[in-house]
Amino acid sequence: MLVNQLKKYTQEYSQREIGIVDYCVFIIIALLCFLSFSQDDITVTLCHAAMLLRGENPYSVPPYPSYMPTTYLIFALWEIP
């Protein structure tokens, strides 16, 4: 019985138009996730990759990197565009 109710609800919901409220809710949730789920490890890795692009040694400054140089090379190539 519950499964039938869920099927009916999802069919009705999936056929309706996407409105401005849906877009606003999505933007608010996306901004909340963007601001609250920033991973420091990724930020530090990108900074070390930028150092590698500038020709500096990322292993000489704290926080000391914990990845292989190829990882930083991949991140550095990703940063170029």
Nearest to 72 by CA among 39, 43, 50, 56: 50
CA–CA separation, 42 and 4 (whole Å): 44
Render pLDDT for 7-61 as a digit per residue (tens, 0 to 9): 887 777 777 788 899 899 999 999 998 888 767 777 888 888 888 888 888 888 8
Q: Give the Å distances, CA to CA, from 7 to 1, 3, 10.
A: 10, 6, 5
Render pLDDT for 56-76 as a digit per residue (tens, 0 to 9): 888 888 877 778 888 888 888
Side-chain-facing half-sphere of 4: CA atoms under 13 Å? 1
Q: Mark 7-18 as b/e (b = at least 16 C-beta within 10 Å).
A: eeeeeeeeeeee
